[in-house]
Amino acid sequence: MPILNWEEALNDELLYTGDSGADPDHHGSSGGQTEIEIVNADHPLAGGLPKGRIQVYSNPDIMSWGYPEVNAKNAIIVGLVGGDPLRVGLFGYEKGATLFDGFSTAAERRVMFFFNNDMGPNVNPAGFHLFDSSVAWLLRLPPPEPPATGGGEPAMLSVARSAGKVTLSWTNSGSLQQADAVTGPWSDAGSQNNPQDVSLTGTARFYRVRQ
């Protein structure tokens, strides 16, 4: 199974890194962070975002990181915390890659992500886009479209169920889209009423809000 981990203390158990207590440490977390520095913009984990510092938190918060160190040739380094090459907040291992111990191999793709506890409300669209891009890479799904430039808060889609129907509502501007499969193809829903009721009868359908 693919693994997405943002609990930095598990990095050594998962063989993403070692567990040195010396400086530089092999894993940890750093407070007061708002940006990830993309150093490998060509990899799908970067989600099409440009090389350089990208704001991913609305306000300073904690970021998890690891240090693949001697086995970095097998780790896919994508994003740094605080621009520090010893603190990698976004990296992955391809299926079959040799892990940190030098002989174990990844049974499937693995990603270390910079999230930390309770940071969800503080993540901006770019941060959520990197998360979505990581999930898409792990599951070999089509990459998500990069967020629109100009910042702003992400739209939040809410679903409430009652007898025979669900009610969809969403915050902020955006178009309600629908698809018969989570991989698409996606198209604008016939109705853009907010909120709107959807019948529970018929085939399965997926919904999202595109800003």
Query: Is the CB of residue 32 less than 8 Å from the CB of residue 60?
Result: yes
Mean of all residue pLDDT scores within the chain: 87
Predicted TM-score (pTM) of the model is 0.69
SS3 86: coil
Give the per-residue pLDDT at 91: 96
Give the full edge-to-edge strand order of the sheet including 165-170. Answer: 157-162, 165-170, 196-199
169-180 residue pLDDT tens: 877 667 788 898
Give the per-residue pLDDT at 151: 47
- 193 vs 187: CA distance, rounded Å: 15
pLDDT higher than 60, residue 42: yes
pLDDT higher than 90, residue 115: yes
Residue 131: count of CB within 10 angstroms of its CB: 21
185-208 residue pLDDT tens: 888 888 888 888 888 887 888 888
- 132 vs 182: CA distance, rounded Å: 13
Give the per-residue pLDDT at 153: 56
Nearest alpha-carbon partner for 4 in 110, 91, 127: 110
Q: Which band of pLDDT confidence, cut at 50, 70 and 90, is reported for residue 182?
A: confident
pLDDT higher than 60, residue 70: no
132-153 residue pLDDT tens: 999 999 999 999 988 765 445 5
Q: Which band of pLDDT confidence, cut at 50, 70 and 90, is reported for residue 154?
A: low
